[in-house]
Structure 1
Amino acid sequence: MLKVVPDPPHTHQSLEDTLIQATDYALCASTVVRQAMLLHPKSSASILMMASMHELETLRVLLEQALIQVQMPSEPRTLH
């Protein structure tokens, strides 16, 4: 019997790839909020947009810190 809905593709990304992708999404979301602020600076929702922008910037910084930790070598190198 044929399946009506196919299985989703199996994409096994590394933690580093996932963090990079999440950072890109946070940057895109931050850009959307900034654009909304430029289009409607006097909107009643501008306070919420500013709060969202702050949260997204904080998320981006945390993701970048996590990415740095992932990219650090796990074993200490000896200096000669």
Structure 2
Amino acid sequence: MLKIVPDPPHNPHSLEDTLIQATEYALCALTVAHHAVQLKPKSPAAVLMMASMHEMESLRVLLEAALIQVQVPAQAPTLH
């Protein structure tokens, strides 16, 4: 007997899991750059690290916004 509805594809990681992991990586990278600036604040590379921190913070905010969109269930139509 043939199945009318096929099985869903096997995906060990959901989009939500991937976004959570990407957010954690961005936070780790942000922390490492922050500590590097604290260790050598007068270094010529400090300006580049601060720029990287700004970009990573922006990435983290975008990832968290995407995660919220994935976690919010689709709104059910209003019944009148």
Same fold (TM over 0.5): yes
Q: Which residue in 1 is equivalent to 2:45?
A: 45
Gaps of 5+ in 1: 1-10
Cα distance, 1:71 vs structure 2: 0.4
Residue 78 of structure 1: CA displacement? 4.8
2 CA distance for matches of 1:61 and 1:19? 11
The CA deviation at 1:12 is 1.9
Q: Find the counterpart in structure 2 of residue 70 from structure 1.
A: 70
TM-score normalized by the length of structure 1: 0.80
4+ residue runs over 6 A deviation: none
TM-superposed deviation, 1:16: 0.2
Identical-pair percentage: 68
C-alpha deviation, 1:75, in angstroms? 3.5
Residue segments in structure 2 that go unaligned for 5+ positions in a row: 1-10
Give me the CA root mean square deviation. 1.8
Counterpart-to-counterpart distance in 1, 2:48 and 2:31 = 15
CA distance in 2, matches of 1:24, 1:78: 36
User: SS in structure 1 opposite 2:56?
Assistant: helix
Aligned partners of 1:33, 1:77: CA distance in 2, in Å?
Answer: 46
Equivalent residue letter for 1:14? S
